[in-house]
């Protein structure tokens, strides 16, 4: 069964707007990661947040983690056309030696 | 550094044919993984390796075999391809310090079609 599930499945916004996507998971985790996948390409790591962290920033990206709600959000500020991609969250569960990926959010930035 | 590379990029097989997908990484990573990606299914782990000479089953291992004879290479084999194995296959690796649940580095993918 999927550990992480993204919401929404698809999101379309205008360039310059902020994009928010969410990830929910089921079991306790050590860390949660976000990856980006451009069409026809492999996944690229964006950011990792550990279970003892609540918020993390990287450039225009802001990730939050709420372990009590078992959820995370990825905020992309001042979106650009180049941000058009699918975004995946990935979680481990404590004791498991592998990541489990969600189904992804497909983000489209309209010029 | 080339990072993680995959060969071939595209392949079309007939049902029952066999093939091997090659993954190579030049980052000296201990851990390597094979995933498949299907529409609406996200990535699913097929097999993984925690070091040279070791392999382990992932979520969807049936119909696939793997080998890790050299640290930098991870091979995925299909002995008798089936249409259900039509998918995009991704290889990834991660380093010993972070472990298998830390940052993974992905290859560009192999698009396989089984007729």
- Number of Cβ atoms within 10 Å of the Cβ of B75: 18
pLDDT score recorded for residue A1: 44
pLDDT higher than 60, residue A2: no
pLDDT score recorded for residue B43: 92
Cβ-based burial of B32 (10 A; exposed 0-12, middle 13-18, buried ≥19): buried
Cβ of A88 within 8 Å of Cβ of B33? The answer is no
pLDDT higher than 90, residue B11: yes
pLDDT digits 0-9 by tens, A64-87: 999 999 999 999 999 999 999 999
**Neighbouring residues of A12: CB distance < 8 A, sequence distance ≥ 6:** A107, A108, A110
A27 and chain B in contact, CB less than 8 A: no
Q: Is the bond preceding residue A95 a cis peptide, omega within 30 degrees?
A: no
pLDDT higher than 70, residue A95: no
In chain A, whose CA is at the least distance from the CA of B41? A103
B61 and chain A in contact, CB less than 8 A: no
Cβ of B106 within 8 Å of Cβ of A42? The answer is yes
Strands A10-14 and A105-110: parallel
SS3 of chain A: the string is CCCEEEECCEEEEECCCCEEEEEEECCCCCEEEEEEECCCCCEEEEEEEECCCCEEEECCEEEEEECCCCEEEEEECCCCHHHCEEEEEEECCCCCCCCEECCCEEEEEEC
- Cα A106 from Cα B25, distance rounded (Å): 28
Chain A residues in contact with B43 (beta carbon < 8 A): 43, 88, 101
Band (pLDDT 50/70/90 cuts) for residue A60 is very high
**What are φ and ψ of residue A44, in 5° steps?**
-120, 130
For chain B, percent of residues with pLDDT exceeding 70? 99
A58 and chain B in contact, CB less than 8 A: no
Give the up-direction half-sphere exposure of residue A64: CA atoms within 13 A in the CB hemisphere. 10
A48 and chain B in contact, CB less than 8 A: yes
Band (pLDDT 50/70/90 cuts) for residue B10 is very high
Band (pLDDT 50/70/90 cuts) for residue B32 is very high
Query: Reduced to 3 states, what is the DSSP secondary structure of residue B55?
Result: coil
Give the up-direction half-sphere exposure of residue A105: CA atoms within 13 A in the CB hemisphere. 27
Average pLDDT, chain A: 92
pLDDT digits 0-9 by tens, B40-94: 778 999 999 999 999 999 999 999 999 999 999 999 999 999 999 999 999 999 9
pLDDT higher than 70, residue A3: no
pLDDT score recorded for residue A94: 64
pLDDT score recorded for residue A92: 85
**Interface A:B, Cβ pairs < 8 A:** 57
């Amino acid at each position: 069964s999927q550990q992480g599930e993204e919401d929404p499945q698809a999101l379309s916004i205008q360039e310059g707007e902020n994009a928010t996507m969410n990830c929910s998971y089921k079991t306790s985790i050590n860390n949660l990661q976000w990856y980006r996948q451009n069409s026809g390409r492999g996944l690229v790591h964006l950011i990792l947040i550990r279970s003892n962290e609540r918020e993390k920033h990287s450039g225009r990206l802001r990730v939050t983690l709420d372990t009590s709600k078992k959820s995370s959000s990825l905020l992309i500020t001042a979106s650009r056309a180049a941000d058009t991609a699918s975004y995946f969250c990935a979680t481990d569960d404590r004791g498991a030696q592998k990541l489990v990926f969600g189904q992804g959010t497909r983000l489209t930035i309209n010029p | 550094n080339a990072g993680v590379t995959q060969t071939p990029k595209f392949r079309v097989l007939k049902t029952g044919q066999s093939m091997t997908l090659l993954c190579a990484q030049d980052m000296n990573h201990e851990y390597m993984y094979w995933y498949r990606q299907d529409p609406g299914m996200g990535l699913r782990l097929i097999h993984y390796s925690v070091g040279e000479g070791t392999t382990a089953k992932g979520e969807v291992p049936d119909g696939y075999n793997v080998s890790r004879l050299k640290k930098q290479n991870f091979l995925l084999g299909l002995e008798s391809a089936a249409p259900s194995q039509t998918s995009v296959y991704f290889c990834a690796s991660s380093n010993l310090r972070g472990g298998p649940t830390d940052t993974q580095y992905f290859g560009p993918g192999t698009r396989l079609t089984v007729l």
